[in-house]
């Protein structure tokens, strides 16, 4: 099984889809059970994967099979089915399986068309897992695009009032991102004649005669930056993401904010920095400045939002800016910080949106000014919300602190001024999060909101799981750090003129 563990892992949610096909539409309890259980299979497999992963081993669990070949005249360029994980992708695979399982459990408030919902949900998981496990550009792109279709349905069918608009925005923005990515991939394919991550990187770094001119490398890096910048999202490509976060149903936002944004971060690290370290290093100041814009823009706008969902959406933009800052540091510490931030934000935002869903279920609103005093009627949920906010603003002992600390530490070494300005973002984070959370949980209770039911045990369980991981990362970062170390070292080693952080 070891040989095909990743294939099993990536496609295991399909078993659930198949099972769902044979269940009549009316059997909601059974459908729900299948949907949730089907996400546990990849979860268990990913834990097995983590247990068997050798931290110092580089690329592992690699699988390779001939898929098809594109004939060009007499020769044929093979396109292979290649999977594998290294220290960079393994944490994200785990993040995906955990958050998806939690989001499946949290889908309890979805009541309509449950069968189609879970089918889309599980297909989406296949796509996301595929993005992180594929080891070649073609496969990566395929899964990357594949996530669009179920996501489109999930937003547009089960979302809130303006869901269809949001879904269309999502589709078009991400479609453009994918289109640019495809251009970059094809150019690399034509120039290098190979699609495997490893071999493309080798060809770009080690060829005696450079495969690409400096300009071509710069343009390709730019294409990748925009393609993944849409996904991350970076200002000014972020507007679609606000709509999605406001309009999509909470479990879907958990997947989106928790996992899909990280596909952008992953792509930037794997391809942007992995393929074009020289260009990335040259543009480091620009990247840092861009990251800074995101951090501050997100934070300032989060400060004035009245909708809890929008506060968290802008906070995501701000936090993804920190990923870019860590990346721009161009050293080991910064990269580690960027991945930590990606994983940590995945858990935290999943928790935040889970709570938004729970609150919405009871109050029918997510507007901060319409709420208040929830702590009285819903002490557990309010406590969780406060905890999540604390994690998000970087309270020591939780994952957010460490990730931001690492990212800024990395950046301080090279860009002290920008880093110092960026740190203002952290202060602002405290302000907007506390403003939103305190306003919701304390103060006078508006009449219609009195006597609400607190979160049920079924709702609290997924919260506790997420919180556990947030704390685990905060107090025992080696869980992630050990796995990550080797991969980050490799990335940093390729940078020109630097000895890793």
Partner 1 sequence: MDEAVKNVLDWNWGAMAPELVILGAATLMTILDLLLPAGRDRRPLAWLGLAGILVAAFLVWRNVQAEPTHILYDMYRVDDFANAFKLVFLAGAAFALLLAVADVGPGGEASSGEKAIRDRGEYFYLLLTGLLGAMMLASAADLIVLFVGLEVLALSSYILVALRRQYLPAVEGAFKYVVNGGIASAITLYGMSFLYGLTGSTNLLAVGEGLRDAYVSGNAYLVYVAFFFLVVGVAFKIAAAPFHMWAPDVYQGAPTPVTAFLAVVSKAAGFALLLRLLLTAFLGLANPLDGSPLLFSELNVYVGAVAAASMIIGNTVALRQTNVKRMMAYSSIAHAGYLLVPFASLTTMVFSQMMFYLVAYLFMTMGAFAVIQLVARDRGSEDLRAFAGLFRRSPLLALAMTLFLLSLAGLPLTAGFIGKFYLFLSAVGREMYALAAIMVLTSVVSFVYYFAVIRQMFLRTGEEGDPGVRVPPTVGTVIALSAAATVLLGLLPDPALDLLAHTFNFSEMFLPLAE
Point out which residues bind partner 1 (CB under 8 A): 67-73, 76, 116, 141-143, 145-146, 148-149, 152-153, 156-157, 164, 168, 171-172, 175-176, 178-180, 182-183, 186-187, 189-190
CB of 303 to partner 1, least distance (A): 34
Least distance CB 267 / partner 1 (angstroms): 16
Residue partners of 221: CB distance under 8 A and separation at least 6: 272, 275, 276, 279, 280, 283
Measured from the CB of residue 366, what is the shortest distance to partner 1 in angstroms?
23
Contacts of residue 321, Cβ cutoff 8 Å, sequence gap at least 6: 234, 291, 292, 293, 294, 295, 296, 297, 298, 422, 425
Residues 389 and 237: their CA atoms lie apart, in Å, by 25
Least distance in angstroms from the C-beta of 126 to partner 1 = 11
Closer residue to partner 1, CB minimum distance, 123 or 483? 123
Tell me the closest approach of the beta carbon of residue 144 to partner 1, in angstroms. 9
Question: Given the complex with partner 1, which of 107 and 156 has the nearer CB atom?
Answer: 156
Mapping DSSP onto H, E and C, the string for 237-268 reads CCHHHHHHHHHCCHHHHHHHHHHHHHHHHHHH
User: How close are the terminal C-alpha atoms of the chain, in Å?
Assistant: 38
Q: CB–CB of 88/484 below 8 Å?
A: yes
When the beta carbons of 195 and 387 are compared against partner 1, the nearer one is 195
Contact 415, 346 (CB under 8 A): no
Residue (113 or 365) nearer to partner 1, CB: 113
CB of 164 to partner 1, least distance (A): 7
Residue 16 CA to its chain's centroid (Å): 23
In whole angstroms, the minimum distance from the beta carbon of 72 to partner 1 comes to 6
CB 400, min distance to partner 1, A:
35
d(CA 254, CA 244): 11
Q: How far is the CB of 119 from partner 1 (least distance, A)?
A: 11
80 vs 307, which CB is nearer to partner 1?
80
Nearer CB in complex with partner 1: 239/456: 239
Tokens of 377: 């009627």
455 contacts 381 by C-beta, under 8 angstroms: yes
Identity of the residue, 196 or 382, whose beta carbon is nearer to partner 1 in the bound complex: 196
* Contact between 366 and 309 (Cβ < 8 Å): yes
Q: How far apart are the C-alpha atoms of 250 and 258, rounded to whole Å? A: 11
Nearest residue (CB) to partner 1, 264 versus 425? 264
Both tokens assigned to 301? 């706008």
Min dist. Cβ of residue 74 to partner 1 (A)? 9
| Segment (H or E) for 490 | helix 478-493
Q: How far apart are CA 188 and CA 365, in angstroms?
A: 48
Nearer to partner 1, 206 or 215 (CB): 215
Nearer to partner 1, 233 or 346 (CB): 233
Q: What is the DSSP string of 165-187?
A: HHHHHHHHHHHHHHHHHHHHHHH
């Amino acid at each position: 099984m070891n040989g095909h563990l990743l294939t099993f892992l990536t496609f295991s949610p399909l078993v659930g889809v198949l099972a769902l096909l044979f269940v009549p539409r009316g059997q909601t309890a059974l459908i729900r059970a299948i949907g949730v259980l089907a996400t546990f299979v990849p979860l268990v497999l990913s834990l097995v994967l983590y247990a068997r992963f050798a931290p110092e081993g580089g690329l592992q669990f690699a699988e390779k099979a001939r898929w098809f070949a594109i004939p060009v005249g007499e020769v044929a360029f093979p396109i292979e089915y290649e999977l594998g994980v290294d220290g960079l992708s393994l944490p994200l695979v785990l993040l995906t399986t955990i958050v998806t399982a939690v989001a499946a459990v949290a889908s309890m408030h979805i009541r309509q068309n449950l069968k189609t919902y879970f089918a889309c949900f599980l297909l989406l998981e296949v796509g996301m897992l595929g993005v992180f496990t594929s080891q070649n550009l073609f496969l990566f792109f395929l899964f990357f695009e594949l996530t669009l279709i179920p996501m489109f349905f999930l937003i547009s069918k089960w979302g809130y009032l303006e869901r269809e608009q949001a879904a269309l925005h999502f589709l078009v923005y991400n479609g453009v991102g994918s289109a640019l990515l495809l251009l970059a991939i094809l150019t690399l394919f034509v120039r290098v004649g190979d699609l495997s991550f490893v071999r493309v990187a080798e060809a770009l770094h080690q060829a005696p005669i450079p495969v690409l001119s400096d300009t071509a490398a710069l343009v390709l890096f730019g294409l990748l930056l925009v393609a993944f910048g849409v996904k991350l999202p970076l200002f000014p490509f972020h507007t679609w993401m606000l709509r999605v976060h406001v309009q999509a149903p909470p479990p879907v936002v958990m997947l989106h904010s928790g996992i899909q944004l990280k596909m952008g971060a992953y792509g930037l690290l794997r391809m942007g920095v992995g393929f074009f370290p020289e260009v990335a290093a040259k543009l480091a100041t620009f990247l840092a400045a861009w990251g800074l814009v995101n951090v501050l823009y997100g934070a300032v706008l989060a400060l004035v939002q009245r909708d809890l969902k929008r506060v968290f959406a802008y906070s995501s933009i701000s936090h993804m800016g920190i990923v870019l800052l860590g990346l721009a540091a161009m050293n080991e510490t910064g990269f580690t910080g960027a991945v930590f931030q990606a994983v940590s934000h995945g858990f935290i935002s999943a928790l935040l949106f889970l709570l938004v869903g729970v609150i919405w279920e009871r109050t029918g609103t997510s507007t901060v000014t319409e709420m208040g005093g929830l702590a009285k009627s819903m002490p557990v949920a309010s406590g969780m919300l406060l905890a999540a906010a604390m994690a998000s603003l970087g309270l020591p002992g939780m994952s957010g602190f460490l990730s931001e600390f690492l990212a800024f530490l990395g950046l301080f070494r090279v860009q002290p001024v920008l880093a110092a300005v960026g740190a203002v973002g952290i202060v602002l984070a405290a302000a907007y999060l506390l403003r939103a959370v305190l306003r919701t949980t304390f103060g006078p209770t508006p009449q219609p909101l009195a006597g609400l039911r607190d979160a049920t045990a079924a709702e609290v369980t997924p919260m506790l799981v997420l919180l556990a991981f947030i704390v685990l990362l905060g107090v025992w970062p080696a869980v992630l750090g050990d796995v990550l170390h080797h991969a980050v070292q490799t990335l940093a080693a390729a940078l020109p003129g630097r000895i890793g952080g």
